[in-house]
Amino acid sequence: MQSAKDSQVRPQLTDRQDPVLPERIARSAAELRGESVEDITAWVQRRRKEVGFKVRRIPFEELDGWSFSPETGNLVHRSGRFFTVQGLRVSVGEQPDRTSWHQPVIAQPEVGILGVLAREFDGVLHFLMQAKMEPGNPGLVQISPTVQATYSNYTKIHKGADVRYLEYFTDPSRGRILSDVLQSEHGSWFRRKRNRNMVVEVTEPVPEHEDFRWLTLGQIHELLGHDNTVNFDARSALAGLYGAGASFALHSDTELLSWLAAWRSLTPITGAPVSLADIPGWTRDEYSIHRDDERYFRVMAVSVRAGNREVREWTQPLLEPNGLGVVAFLTRTFGGVPHVLVSARAEAGFSDAEFGPTVQCVPRNHGHLPAGERPPFLDLVRSAAPARIRYSALHSEEGGRFLNAVSRYLVIEATESEAPLKEPPGFRWVSRDQLAAFTRYSHYVSAQARTLLLCLNTLEVQRAGCGATRRSS
């Protein structure tokens, strides 16, 4: 069946799985060369001062280019692009266990790029991280991916400034892909939003720029121990790096995928757009759209004004949660293999349920409930003894859309009596490495679980004794 011409073509086959990447990742994670974490945070502080942005709450009527559509009541930009705040009627589950509610939600169908450039220096992988301003971030400037670009950005529809280093992510021939997957974003606030999370390695020299630094994974892990320092997009993009790891676990991969499939079947998520002007239980005033009982979040508007160096200025809507969140994994080690207790999370904006944290909520929304009706494991997580807290830091979510959406991210060591081997409904023990493997595929691991996965990987290094001396508590 082979023609003469075919026999001349002798393509080289390649390993389906990169056999050396896990070792290279581990080496970068163990490496703290270069600037100390104090120097890096000082650089971020310096950038905060230099750019000198001011973010100010404004009434909706001071928004420039944004308005409430007379037809739909939705908050839209006159260009028809960026994003829209619309109303949504959501149902999760099947009768008789279906739950339905109304809420505002951000719709943004285009797929953005969250890209981190990687390069080896002296045999160690480094990652090009940016000190970038986003109006909703505490501190405004945080450590961010090399590139955060919307489709409009990268096709230059808006004729804005070119996005620096973007070409490495849009032209595959410029580098080698280490990870690349469309991931869901925050499903309680975004409807079906997904971004392309990429890590691309280059071998050629890359132009330098004062807003960017090459950091090892060890340095990034250290920075993750600091509050509000590494932004959401960086955490999400880097979470895709970790390898398949230990080949044993409490449950097989098939069992876990089956468990998620069952939850996906039981909790189908359907959403119908409704007018933002007409959401039961929500009121719009001069400054915000909020629930009458002040729970969950509000839609509001800000003006962003640059200081000395830059000449940018704009207004935009943001979503603001009503309090500090708690996002936590309970962890136990079985047969030497670290596991975390994942939940099956069906959020309003998801296509289907995803693996999520053990606990994810704003406790204030549940404060009125008796202990038995509060989210499972929340009280355990909040009252954990310091010796059980293996990781704790504040992180904020996507600062281009959310104002002060800060949660305490925790990894808590649990006992059999607290978190038994035989899981309660809606929870499963998943090894850290299984979670990493599932993160290679779209819509399996939620935004908050991806942050926790990255934090879990910082613990590995800590345990190996690297970086302990430098690590801040």
Q: Report 41-80 residues binding its own copies (CB under 8 A).
A: none
Alpha helices of 289-415 — where are they, by DSSP H? 378-382
Q: How far is the CB of 111 from its own copies (least distance, A)?
A: 4
Going by C-alpha positions, the residue among 141, 168, 142, 140 that lies closest to residue 154 is: 168
Contact in structure between 340 and 429 (CB atoms under 8 Å): yes
Interface residues for its own copies in 405-434 (CB under 8 A)?
413, 415-417, 421, 431, 434
Residue type, 248: F
Q: Cβ closer to its own copies: 71 or 416?
A: 416
Q: Cβ closer to its own copies: 16 or 309?
A: 16
- Of 27, 77, 291, 440, the residue at the interface with its own copies (CB under 8 A) is 440
Of 55-63, 107-115, 285-293, 362-370: span binding its own copies (CB under 8 A):
107-115
CA distances from 166 to 19, 125, 155, 236, 341 (A): 28, 20, 10, 18, 37
Kindly determine how many residues on this chain lie close enough to bind its own copies according to the rule CB under 8 A. 74
Of 109-117, 127-135, 212-220, 455-463: span binding its own copies (CB under 8 A):
109-117
DSSP letter (8 states) at residue 376: T
Pairing of strands 406-413, 325-334: parallel
Of 23-31, 259-267, 283-291, 391-399: span binding its own copies (CB under 8 A):
259-267
Contact in structure between 456 and 411 (CB atoms under 8 Å): yes
Cα angle vertex 148, ends 168, 460, to 5°?
A: 90
Q: How far is the CB of 49 from its own copies (least distance, A)?
A: 36
Calpha distance 150→82 (Å, rounded)? 8
Calpha distance 15→439 (Å, rounded)? 20
What radius of gyration do the chain's Cα atoms show?
23
The Cα diameter of the chain in Å comes to 78
Pairing of strands 427-431, 337-345: antiparallel
- Of 77, 89, 164, 251, the residue at the interface with its own copies (CB under 8 A) is 251
Q: Cβ closer to its own copies: 132 or 193?
A: 193
- Is residue 464 part of the contact set for its own copies (CB under 8 A)? no
- Is residue 180 part of the contact set for its own copies (CB under 8 A)? yes
Q: Cβ closer to its own copies: 308 or 417?
A: 417
Interface residues for its own copies in 76-105 (CB under 8 A)?
94-95
Of 48-56, 65-73, 252-260, 322-330: span binding its own copies (CB under 8 A):
252-260
Q: How far is the CB of 198 from its own copies (least distance, A)?
A: 8
Contact in structure between 185 and 194 (CB atoms under 8 Å): yes
Of 6-14, 282-290, 356-364, 398-406: span binding its own copies (CB under 8 A):
6-14
- Is residue 459 part of the contact set for its own copies (CB under 8 A)? no
- Is residue 268 part of the contact set for its own copies (CB under 8 A)? yes
Q: Cβ closer to its own copies: 158 or 366?
A: 158
What is the distance, to the nearest Å, from the Cα of residue 359 to the centroid of all Cα atoms in its chain?
16
Calpha distance 332→318 (Å, rounded)? 38
Q: What x-and-dash track marks residues 120-159 binding its own copies by CB under 8 A?
A: -------------------------------x---x-x--
Of 8-16, 300-308, 402-410, 448-456: span binding its own copies (CB under 8 A):
8-16
Interface residues for its own copies in 199-238 (CB under 8 A)?
none
- Is residue 443 part of the contact set for its own copies (CB under 8 A)? yes
For residue 172, whether the previous peptide bond is cis, meaning omega lies within 30 degrees of 0, is no
Q: How far is the CB of 18 from its own copies (least distance, A)?
A: 7
Q: What are phi and psi of 60, to 5 degrees?
A: -50, -35
Calpha distance 414→217 (Å, rounded)? 27
Of 48-56, 190-198, 226-234, 359-367: span binding its own copies (CB under 8 A):
190-198
Interface residues for its own copies in 329-368 (CB under 8 A)?
332, 334-335, 337, 351-352
Is residue 22 packed enough to be buried (19+ CB in 10 Å), middle (13-18) or exposed (0-12)? middle
Residue type, 241: L
Going by C-alpha positions, the residue among 254, 455, 226, 235 that lies closest to residue 340 is: 455
Contact in structure between 197 and 114 (CB atoms under 8 Å): yes
Q: How far is the CB of 106 from its own copies (least distance, A)?
A: 15
- Of 55, 63, 178, 279, the residue at the interface with its own copies (CB under 8 A) is 178
Calpha distance 471→441 (Å, rounded)? 32
Q: How far is the CB of 304 from its own copies (least distance, A)?
A: 26
Q: Cβ closer to its own copies: 60 or 444?
A: 444
- Of 250, 340, 410, 449, the residue at the interface with its own copies (CB under 8 A) is 250
